[in-house]
Amino acid sequence: AAAASPHGIALVWADPWQRISVGGHQYSEVIEHPAADYAWRVAILSADGAEALAASLDREALAGLLAAEALRVAAWRPRWTTEVDERSLPHESDWIRSAVHLNKGCYRGQETVAKVHNLGHPPRRLAALHLDGSDAVLPEPGAPVYAGDDEVGHLTSVARHHEDGPIALAILSRRAPVGDLVVRAEGIDIAASQQVIVPADAGATADIPRLTRLSRRPTAPDPRDSVSGAGS
């Protein structure tokens, strides 16, 4: 009601991440996706609407951006300014569930999206991490993630959740192990329990039979190699 409404249309955007959009596809194999409760709305308020809204709000119910960020991370919601870099594919962060319509075209990048989804696997995958909070160190985005002595990825978003404590999203190599990991920050190794968002075998959804390469097919015998008639 407080949103600006030029030409009678309220300027309110509803984030589609809450459910799989028409034409989308979810790689995550969880039974209940944490985004089910992520009813996120963004509104542009008019000056009068903002004043009226501020006067009607319960001040004790207000929350800041840190709380909003924690809810986003807990919902596994990728963000352009954090989970995306110059190499990103929407498959890697399970963004196909709301950002791409697989049955429509053409759009920029469609060939790459279709090829990875139907025939290949994304080279990286998004994972949710529950961080050990006993050292009271909250690592910064960009902190490296290790599996043993091998660096397998980096944090992209970090937050303190009101129930789950310190949590994070991380972009990992597709071949990173599924088990517990370690985040290295400020010279401290922080134990991280991993929850798989995008599995390593995501993609390759098309049931296309693989044909044997011509060079590997057995050669048919040449009839001239067999000798018939009287023997010597």
For the chain, 232 residues long, the average pLDDT of each consecutive 10-residue run is 91 96 96 95 90 82 90 97 96 95 86 93 97 89 97 98 96 96 94 97 85 66 60 48
Distance CA 118, CA 103 (A): 12
**Single-letter code of the amino acid located at 62:** L
Cβ pair 197, 127 in contact under 8 A: yes
Find where tokens 């529950």 sit.
130
**Helix, strand, coil distribution of the chain in percent, nearest 5:** 25, 25, 50
Non-local CB neighbours of 139 within 8 Å, separated by 6+ positions: 131, 155, 158, 168, 183, 185, 186, 190
Helix extents (H) in 7-109? 47-56, 65-74, 96-99
DSSP 8-state assignment for residue 93: G
Phi, psi of 139 (to 5 degrees): -65, 155
Which tokens is 32 given? 């209940």
Q: How many CB atoms lie within 10 A of CB 129?
A: 27
What CA–CA distance (Å, rounded) separates 128 from 82? 14
* Chain-centroid distance, C-alpha 34: 13
Annotated domain spans of the chain: 6-196
For the chain, the farthest-separated pair of C-alpha atoms sits apart, in whole angstroms, at 112
Q: Does domain 6-196 have CATH number 3.10.20.30?
A: no
Tokens at 17, concatenated: 């991440």
Q: Are strands 144-147 and 181-185 parallel, antiparallel or unpaired?
A: antiparallel
- Rounded Cα–Cα distance for residues 103 and 24 (Å): 9
The SS3 of residue 41 is strand
State pTM to two decimals: 0.85
The reported pLDDT for the residue numbered 232 is: 46
Helix (H, G, I), strand (E, B) or coil at 203: coil
